[in-house]
Amino acid sequence: MTAGTGLGFTVAATDGPARVGELVTAHGMIPTPAFMPVGTAGTVKAMKPEEVAATGAAIILANTYHLMLRPGAEQVAALGGLHGFMNWDGPILTDSGGYQVMSLAGLRTIKEDGVTFRSHIDGTEHGLTPERAVGIQELLGSDITMVLDECTPFPVDEKTARDSMELSMRWAARSKSAFTPRPGHGLFGIVQGGVFENLRADSAAALCEIGFDGYAVGGLAVGEGQDEMFRIVAATVPGLPEDRPRYLMGVGKPDDIVGAVARGIDMFDCVLPTRSGRTGQAFTPRGTVNLRNARHADDSRPLDETCACPACRSYSRAYLHHLFKVKEILGSMLLTAHNLSYYQQLTAGLRDAIGNGQLQDFITTFNEDQARGDIPVI
């Protein structure tokens, strides 16, 4: 296997398949397991960069597709790269745009060379090849670049899944050839193959032969259900190098993260905590809380007494309920900060539990607390 050299990754402790590690990039160290807030267009919605950092986040995710359309990768590069452009001095991982392009049903055409598509903004035609996807991410200044892949749809038959996976593997090799190695920067391959374990094994082997700085598991959390997702993760992880980080793309809910960490995954991203924060749904150790519900209107308690985020430290449930009822922007800001804080607290708790050899106890307590649900006001 030809290994990448741009990123540093060490595993400090294990508990079964679960690991605690450190991923070192040009813009800082990321403790793993790690959750990456999603800043699709160069901003984590409703949050300033310093507020994102205050939640405990060490790395964020941005997206090639959206930034290539607006304001354009070349413009971002001319303005000092994405770090300076958005005032985030920590590590950035950029998705290649493959998932977004593949979701443009009726607006894109896939060929061996790459994909052509029409912008969802103004209908203009664009092209994205493995080489161009890597080039855009280098213009953005990403610490972690993702290969261009085809996100295999679900449900799909095995032959279609194999054809899609094999195209992604050819694109992965071209992405590797196009990538410019440099200290502190790395390229991740993406395992595809749908819900077919044999295809996932073939994909992992092909990527290991090419050699990457990290390995993502893509094409999951697309409708297959949690049990199927966990089955594929458990089948895929043993085929990936132990000395490289493993990233489960687009996942997910808190129990998805806990279950995937137990199966050996190190990195996650999902829009759920920020999107939910804008719609009045909070994540807590006792499950989700809908702050639009009228039962919170007279509740003077904090959302979560164990949380030190601004929403929980300084405001009541009644006030948060009021903000969402009258559609004030502050509600989205406070609840987004809370949800991101909860996700960072969750991954920090997982790191501590793994480091102390107590992951199963952590999982048992997590599941019991989630099952109890929120405590209504008396």
**Which band of pLDDT confidence, cut at 50, 70 and 90, is reported for residue 3?**
very low
pTM reported for the whole predicted model: 0.96
Is the pLDDT at 34 greater than 90? The verdict is yes
Give the three-state DSSP class for 337.
Answer: helix
pLDDT for the residue numbered 4 = 45
**Which band of pLDDT confidence, cut at 50, 70 and 90, is reported for residue 97?**
confident
Domains and CATH numbers, the chain: 26-270 (3.20.20.105), 280-360 (no CATH)
**Which band of pLDDT confidence, cut at 50, 70 and 90, is reported for residue 111?**
very high
pLDDT for the residue numbered 5 = 58
pLDDT tens, position by position, 325-361:
999 999 999 999 999 999 999 999 999 999 999 999 9
Which residues are annotated as catalytic?
95, 269
Q: Strands 287-290 and 92-95, how do they pair?
A: unpaired
> CA Rg, the chain, in Å?
20
* One-letter amino acid of 307: C
pLDDT tens, position by position, 130-184:
999 999 999 999 999 999 999 988 999 999 999 999 999 999 999 999 999 999 9
Is the pLDDT at 375 greater than 80? The verdict is yes
Taking the C-alpha atoms of residue 41 and residue 39, their distance in angstroms, rounded to an integer, is: 6
Taking the C-alpha atoms of residue 118 and residue 101, their distance in angstroms, rounded to an integer, is: 9
Taking the C-alpha atoms of residue 71 and residue 67, their distance in angstroms, rounded to an integer, is: 6
CB of 127 closer than 8 Å to CB of 116: yes
